[in-house]
Amino acid sequence: MMNFVQAVQILTDAEVEFAIIGGWSAIMHGSAHLTNDLDLCYSRTPSNLRRLALALAPYHPRPANFPPELPFVWDERTLHSGTVFTLDTDLGRIDLLAEVAGLGGWDELKAGCVRLPAFDREVWTLDLPSLIKAKRAAGRPKDLLVLPELESLLDAENDSAPEV
């Protein structure tokens, strides 16, 4: 059972620099599609890797489908050594991406983010144009399937924006 609220709160309270991407970003913008995981893009600065590792450590992160008998060390060195982590945790499945297709790494991605109230916190998430661009660049069937809905949400958002 995924506890999305607790996961986001833990990371936010630990001052981890991250943005919600993927399915939860779509939901935050009004999508009706459901998701079973929490997709995040994160800053790879040494201090952020440390905060991220420490925040998730109590929830026993391990690579998804990794044999339980094999050792796995979760720390900032592990995070530094990779850029994509699909983790099973006590909070549920969390995908950590250092880069997002179509958008780039943390600095580029953050330029296409908005801060929204969600999960009883203020959190960064992709804005709709960036989310659409990332979904299109990923090109997976599940990403392409949600594009028409996201584009209509963007049209509705643009229609309701005040004229300048």
**Segment 70-86, tens digit of pLDDT:** 999 999 999 999 999 99
Q: What is the CATH number of the domain that holds 22?
A: 3.30.460.40
Q: What is the pTM of this model?
A: 0.91
- Split into its structural domains, the chain has a count of 1
Q: Which residue type is seen at 150?
A: L
Share of the chain above pLDDT 90, in %: 81
Quickly list H helices, the chain.
4-13, 22-28, 46-56, 76-81, 106-110, 128-138, 141-160
- pLDDT exceeds 60 at position 1: no
* Structural domain boundaries enclosing 109: 4-160
pLDDT of residue 19: 98
Residues facing 118 on adjacent strands:
121
Mean pLDDT taken over the chain: 93
Instruction: Convert 24-50 to b/e letters by CB count within 10 Å (16 or more is b).
Output: bbbbbbebeeebebbbbbbbbeeebbb
pLDDT in tens, 126-137: 999 999 999 999
53 CB-near residues (< 8 Å, 6+ apart): 74, 75, 76, 78, 79
Amino acid at 142: K
Mean per-residue pLDDT for 96-120?
95
The pLDDT score that the predictor gives to residue 163 is 65
Instruction: Kindly state the average pLDDT of the residues 47-51.
Output: 98
Q: Is the per-residue pLDDT at 161 higher than 70?
A: no
User: pLDDT higher for 159 or 55?
Assistant: 55
Q: What is the pLDDT of residues 88-107, one digit of tens each?
A: 999 999 999 999 999 999 99
Residue 164: which pLDDT band, with cuts at 50, 70 and 90? low
Average of per-residue pLDDT across 1-21:
92
